[in-house]
Amino acid sequence: MEVKIKERLSQLFDEQKINCAIIFEKGTMPDKNAPNIIYNKEGLNNLVWNSMNWNNLANYLPKLLGKKIGIVAKGCDSRSIVLLMQEEKVKREDLYIIGINCTGMIDMKKIAKDFGAEISETIFEKDSVKVKGKASEKEYKVKDFLLESCQVCKYPSPVIYDEVLGEQVKGFEGDNYQDITEFEKLSSEERREYFYKELSGCIRCYACRNSCPSCYCQECFVDSNQPKWLEKGQNIDDIFFYHIVRAYHMVGRCVDCGSCQNACPMDINILKLTKKLNKDVRELYKYECGLDPKNTPALSTFEPDDYNEFIK
Ligand code: SF4
Ligand code: SF4
Ligand code: SF4
């Protein structure tokens, strides 16, 4: 896969079909890869493709508006591309999309916990990773340590592309909101208590916001001084306010890629909030985000004969 992606992007640079590309490179830590934007084919020397590429690369598209961009897109990245096209943050004609049939990404936080020692090297084979430390090594099957979103991913194959690599992958066929249905059975006090406990560890680093392709406002409400929506610091009410408002900004706009949760240094389950809203949107509007660029997003449309009084 890695060789094929390099070959294709190299050709695209030669043919001047693209003048930049969004790729993954090895990160500074052995258990993380890092997205990067390259502007010539020499940059491809550092390209890597393996099961640590969980970041949603569509995140970088709004910053490259007007450029001819090559992008490597898993199923979830491709759905974010569709959303960004709908919201006019990227033009289809400016993109060359190398779609990847995705077999899922590995949860390195879980692996690190299991390994129990500092990881000094990771070596990927086709469907496993060998993790090495100073005094020990262990091999893990990727399928046994998939990230939460990947375990229930309905669209692992790209929904939009110029060409696609890898064999078609079957999406998850069960109920991907089973956990939310269970959670909904709790009383409102129990749910509130859960979130207070879960979010009390949040340090408001905003890595969740920064890694989300749907969060592209030039000035986020958390950084605004006029009006000032919330204070700095660790007040739990401010933390709550940030998460609730961010989740509401995601209504009908979240592709459930899990990038926000994977980026969290405090291992906080923030997908619970966005997944609940995704489920509501699916049930109320029969709408799933990022499947068809010609569709109008759920909250950008209305019916003149809506039963709500305010619409008349
Ligand atoms: S959410 Fe789906 S497409 Fe995205 S990385 Fe996981 S399995 Fe792949
Ligand atoms: S990434 Fe985690 S710690 Fe940082 S703001 Fe988001 S939830 Fe809080
Ligand atoms: S809110 Fe999280 S899961 Fe949803 S699109 Fe953004 S990064 Fe992906």
Residue ranges covered by each domain of the chain: 2-105+146-300, 106-145
Which residue in 55, 71, 90, 62 sits closest to 17, CA to CA? Answer: 71
CB-ligand 3 contact for 176 (6 Å cutoff): no
Reply yes or no on whether the pLDDT at 250 is more than 80: yes
Q: Which two tokens stand for residue 262?
A: 């994977």
> Can you name the residues that pair with 163 across neighbouring β-strands?
98
User: Which one, of 129, 46, 61, 137, lies nearest residue 97 by Cα?
Assistant: 61
Inter-residue contact 67 to 94 (CB < 8 Å): yes
Ligand 3, atom nearest to 253 Cα: 5
The DSSP line for 101-154 is -----B-HHHHHHHH-S---EEEE-SSEEEEE-SS-EEEEEGGGGB-HHHHT-S
How far is ligand 3, taken at its centre, from the CA of residue 195, in Å? 18
Q: Which residues line ligand 2 (CB under 6 A)?
A: 202-208, 263-266, 268, 270
For ligand 2, atom 1, name the residue with the nearest CA. 264
Ligand 3: nearest atom to the Cα of 247: 1
Unique residue bearing structure tokens 């500092």: 118
Nearest atom, ligand 2, residue 209 CA: 6
Using the mean position of ligand 3's atoms as its centre, give its distance from the Cα of residue 292 in Å: 18
Residue 296: predicted pLDDT: 87
Which protein residue has the closest C-alpha to ligand 2 atom 3?
202
Tens-place pLDDT, residues 74-96: 999 999 999 999 999 999 999 99
The rounded percent of the chain whose pLDDT value lies above 70 is: 99
- For the Cβ of 278 lying below 6 angstroms from any atom of ligand 3, the answer is no
CA distance 256 to 247: 12
CB-CB contact of 40 with 13 (8 Å) = yes
Of the listed ligands, the closest to the CA of 252 is 3
Residue 252 in contact with ligand 3 by CB distance below 6 A: no
Q: Atom 4 (ligand 3): residue with closest C-alpha?
A: 254
Burial 116-129 (b: 16+ CB within 10 A, else e): eeebeebebeeebb
| Ligand 1 neighbours by CB, cut-off 6 Å | 54, 74-76, 102, 104-105, 149-150, 153, 156, 257-258
| Per-residue model confidence as pLDDT tens digits over 276-293 | 999 999 999 999 999 999
Q: Is the model's pLDDT at 306 over the cut of 90?
A: no
Count of residues in the chain: 312
**What's the pLDDT tens digit per position in 134-187?**
999 999 999 999 999 999 999 999 999 999 999 999 999 999 999 999 999 999
CA 302, chain centre distance (Å) = 28
